[in-house]
Amino acid sequence: MIIEGGTGNAYSVKVTRDNQFVSYSTTVSELAFISYLKQDGYTITSSLTNIATGSCVLFFRNTDPARNFHVHKVIIGSSIASQFTIYVNNTYAASTGTAIVPVNLNSNSGRVALCICLGTVAVATVTPGKKVCDLFTVANDSQEFFFEGSPIFGLNNDFAIVATNASSTNIIAVTVTGYYKDTTL
């Protein structure tokens, strides 16, 4: 049996002796695909020292009316064993904190993330909303937490990563990778 390709150029496809079709494909993560094709993958990094209980290490609010922001991965490192909590739908008082500009993962792109993004946010500035999860790190190490794009943030939706244990000697670094996707399919 000969199976011809569907391109109209009369190429036949490879078939095994058991008449199984042979094909090759490349699998990439959605973040890599969107970074390449749509140029809408971003990384957001924040660091914090001299931590007060409840300090918001990173605050992100999507201000893009046409695209949802999907969180792909969160990487957290700390100098002492630490606990962090991710909250969504927070009450945000004012823009006190260090402004963060998300970096586009496609270095050829001029696209920017439309958002309010802050690091080292004062405790009183963000009142936590709904608790999504707790994340834990061990001393002098980092942990990766994969969300695979399931936390989705539409217009004016936000998340905050809050340090729930205090220490004046703890050094924390947080990196969030994510991507924008059109709100329509």
Residue pair 162/57 in contact (Cβ under 8 Å)? The answer is yes
Question: How far is the CA of 59 from the CAs of 23, 26, 45, 127, 175, in angstroms?
Answer: 45, 35, 11, 11, 12
Q: What is the DSSP string of 131-156?
A: EEEEEEE-TTEEEEEE-TT-SEE-TT
Q: Would residue 79 count as lying in a domain?
A: yes
Question: What is the per-residue pLDDT for 72?
Answer: 93
Q: What is the pTM of this model?
A: 0.81
In this structure, what is the dihedral angle of CA atoms 156, 131, 152, 101, given to the nearest 10 degrees? 60
CATH of residue 84: 2.60.120
- 147: amino acid identity, one letter: F
Q: Would residue 146 count as lying in a domain?
A: yes
Question: What is the per-residue pLDDT for 15?
Answer: 77
Helix or strand holding residue 48 (H, E): strand 41-51
Q: Would residue 29 count as lying in a domain?
A: no
Residue pair 90/76 in contact (Cβ under 8 Å)? The answer is no
- Note the pLDDT tens digit of each residue in 132-154: 999 998 999 888 899 887 889 99
Q: Which residues contact 27 (CB under 8 A, 6 or more apart)?
A: none
Question: What is the per-residue pLDDT for 94?
Answer: 65
Q: Tell whether the torsion through CA atoms of 33, 28, 104 and 183 is positive or negative.
A: positive
Q: Would residue 127 count as lying in a domain?
A: yes
Question: What is the per-residue pLDDT for 119?
Answer: 85
Q: Would residue 10 count as lying in a domain?
A: no
Low-confidence ranges of the chain (pLDDT < 70): 1-11, 94-95, 122-125, 166, 185
Q: Would residue 153 count as lying in a domain?
A: yes
Q: Would residue 141 count as lying in a domain?
A: yes
Give the domain extent around 78: 42-182
Question: What is the per-residue pLDDT for 74?
Answer: 94
Query: CB count, 10 Å around CB of 15?
Result: 13
Q: Would residue 78 count as lying in a domain?
A: yes
Report the number of distinct structural domains present in the chain: 1
